[in-house]
Structure 1
Amino acid sequence: MPQNKKEYQSFLGFGGYYRQHIKDFASIARLLYKLCDKDTVFEMTVDRVKDFEYLRQALNTAPLLLMPDFKLPFKLYIDASVDGLGAELHQFQIINDKLVEGPIYFISRQIKPTEARYGASQMEFS
């Protein structure tokens, strides 16, 4: 558990490096990044500890990403919420003689203040 803001920033930097492996990374880490703001006092509340543990668990259980095969079709999933936007790129590949759908890449980001006023369908096309 990080004991100060610098350790916390280091953990988030590590998590950010692996963000393409974590589904909905931006939504999970949204409140954690607010703790790193310059004027925010470092205080580990119950909610922050819960969010920290959730992100740590997501990093520990991140799925193995497939290497893309550009000869096969891709499948793109998109989602939007008040917390953020996200997308997953998947592909069906034969692994151990079985056709398996697996993730190739995850991407997400927090929504901007102006985007918060969009409807759900508009957000998904942002």
Structure 2
Amino acid sequence: MIYEIDLHNNKDKKFTIRDNKHQKFALLHLKREITVSKVSPVRLELEKFKTEQMNEAEVILYLTDIQEKEISTLLYEHKEEFETDKEPLGETICHKDDIIFNSERPYPPLLRRTAYPESPKSREALELHNKEILDLDVIRNVGKNEEVEITTQVILACNNGKSRMVGELRALNTYTVPDRYPKPKIQISLNQMSQAVYISTIDALKELQQNVVAPRA
């Protein structure tokens, strides 16, 4: 079948079939609908989170694209739990740690016990430790008219030949109301740290220490 198309600049293009020049057919103009998929706001926020908050994060190489996407989505869903440069972690407002005695003044003799007898060597060590933490602004001198509670200071000998000052808190624990968030027992702490990679400790004299756990530990 032979088609002929009129190439003149007419308003509508025409074409004929075979030798019939009188019967012309018009070209049908169909409007092509282009569907543009909309990107959900959540996906945009997720991509923004990956670009801004996770730009310095290193992803394990053997993760598949699906696993990496699942991790990114999980972190995005819980992003409020993480600290950022613009939004640092704030304090907890639902609870305040406090030491509340289950007795009032005058306190029991166990809480008003005098200091342990100490040798001149122990007294010298106590004064040295007090001066160190006083210079570090960990403690301060108490005025004569200030009403404060004190704990008995004890000097413990360390294996390296040095000494360490600690407070005798066993009597205080006896007369203290249990806290809403009690400190975990040692066995619970050990179980929770069994898979730890780092153990962080904070000390008044040694500051913050972050130690790497040996593989066999």
Q: State whether TM-score is above 0.5.
A: no
When normalised by structure 2's length, the TM-score is 0.14
> Which structure has the bigger radius of gyration?
2
- Flag the structure with higher helix content: 1
When normalised by structure 1's length, the TM-score is 0.21
Structure having greater relative contact order (Cα 8 Å, sep ≥ 6): 1
